[in-house]
Amino acid sequence: MQSPRDIAQFLEEYWHKKIGLISAEIFSICSVSFLLISANAELTWWISIPVISFVVWFLWFYTTKPPVVPKNKIGFLVCITCSDEKELKSVTEDFIIPLRQLIRTGTSGNSFHFIEMPQRLANQVIDVDSALEMRVRCKAHFMIYGRVRRKIINKQENHIIELEGAVAHQPVSDEVRENLTAEFSELLPRNVHIPIENDLFAFQFTSEWAETVARYIIGVAAAYSGDINYAENLYQDVLSRLQGKDQNFLIYRKLKERIPHRLAELYEAMASTYFSKWSETRNFDYLTEVDEWLDKIDEVVKDNKTVLFLRAITTFLTTRSVEKAIDMLKRVKESDNQIWQCNMAFLYAYKGDLKKVIQHYRYAEQCDYQQEKLFQIEDFIHWLIEQEPTKYQLYYCLGFINMGIKGDQILAVENFKKFLEMCDESEYVKEKDLAQNWVRELPV
């Protein structure tokens, strides 16, 4: 017969498995039954057996289920299997613990809940599907999973680290999530060989590597989720960690190259948001915000198309510097874009070069039709005429937009008539002739 100590050791070793539950159930039922028989207990006391059986099952279920990320925290799950206890101890002390400490430092550290998966559960993660299932069970947003094993390479014993990443940060689309996961896995230590004799330093380096990549990926996910300030903090954290790092290391070099572009995405998004607010309200305070966000963009990415467009429009609106605005739009180089052509036509119209206006509108006719943005352009031109009634030549623009692009002949005739009514005899002679011909020819 097994001693109580042997039974306790057995349950401790196998408790998390189904055989542990079955053994605990049998042991508890037998023990209670023995006590009830010895005490000559009444029949009603035997009802305690199913109750105790349920309690054992509940304890087993509660103590063996995976840990769960608390609400309002960003869950970071590490699920790494090791070949033996010695390897596990080395990985825990030199990789996982430093990784946890690094993740929880910096301005964004308090947002994280770090979970190190016990080996009995980590062993269940054998492929992508099982990894995703485990991440869902833990309600984690980010996951690093894989294995660390020992292998003899060139007569030298090495740790082999093989890691993958998984991302599920709401509310991003499936496509974005897949891209994040791919980038996460691309940058993580996927196949690293660490000589046993130098494992402490190498593990610490690998831990810093994984932590830096993790912060970057979390920043990207936060940006897609709309949390701009948090994403910016994470990117800045990564940049500060890259200071003094070996830039010959490919991953650090990639991160240093990518972060200015990621930051530019944030600043563009905020600048675009404030420009939209200006479009809705015509409150010039919002244009100041646009400029402030654009000023934060690194020089290496200032030729981005969105940045140049926003710079062009804010330059025109705040200084009426038409030539500077035209120069910025020319650098965008989107001659096959209808809105680009219409914006160029508007700027030339504002400066009075109506010959150039028609050239750009003719090109715009051949481009893909963008109805919503055309309405915005029309609304903007009407607003500007109210602000500057002397710029009546803009009615010529409205007439051609409605005639040549939108096909609204009634509005086109109205616009051309207003242009003709306000025109001085000596101005825009050729354009007046064209407008008069269009008014006569358009069937209204």
Q: What would the pLDDT profile of 392-438 be if each residue is shown by its tens digit?
A: 999 999 999 999 899 899 999 999 999 999 988 788 899 999 999 99
Q: Which residue has the tokens 């099952």?
A: 57
**Alpha-carbon gap, residue 89 to 84, rounded angstroms:** 9
**Alpha-carbon gap, residue 286 to 271, rounded angstroms:** 9
DSSP designation for 401: I
CB neighbour list of residue 178: distance below 8 Å, 6 or more residues apart: none
Summarised one tens digit per residue, pLDDT across range 269-295 is 899 999 999 999 999 999 999 999 999
pLDDT at 220: 83
DSSP designation for 403: I
**Alpha-carbon gap, residue 246 to 255, rounded angstroms:** 12
3-state secondary structure of 5: helix
**Alpha-carbon gap, residue 331 to 271, rounded angstroms:** 19
**Alpha-carbon gap, residue 15 to 30, rounded angstroms:** 18
3, with CB counted inside 10 A (0-12, 13-18, 19+), is: exposed
**Alpha-carbon gap, residue 358 to 348, rounded angstroms:** 10
pLDDT at 297: 87
CA atoms within 13 A on the CB side of 305: 7
- Does CATH place domain 337-444 in 1.25.40? yes
pLDDT at 278: 94
Within 320-370, where are the H helices?
322-332, 338-351, 354-366
Distance of alpha carbon 142 from the chain centroid: 12
Q: List the domain boundaries for the chain.
A: 4-64, 74-211, 337-444
Q: Which residue has the tokens 């680009």?
A: 340
Distance of alpha carbon 302 from the chain centroid: 21
Residue 141 tokens, joined:
């947003």
DSSP designation for 49: H
Can you list the pairs that 271-274 forms with residues at least 24 positions away whose Cβ atoms lie under 8 Å?
271/306, 271/307, 271/310, 272/306, 272/310
194, with CB counted inside 10 A (0-12, 13-18, 19+), is: buried
**Alpha-carbon gap, residue 255 to 247, rounded angstroms:** 10
Residue 358 tokens, joined:
């028609």
pLDDT at 42: 63
In terms of DSSP bridges, do strands 142-153 and 74-82 run parallel, antiparallel, or are they unpaired?
parallel
Residue 18 tokens, joined:
């189904």
Beta bridge partners of 150: 159
Give pLDDT < 50 ranges for the chain.
1
Cβ–Cβ under 8 Å, residues 300 and 262: no
Name which of 318, 375, 365 is nearest 345 in CA terms. Answer: 365
Q: DSSP for 261-303?
A: HHHHHHHHHHHHHHHHHHHHH--THHHHHHHHHHHTS-GGGTT
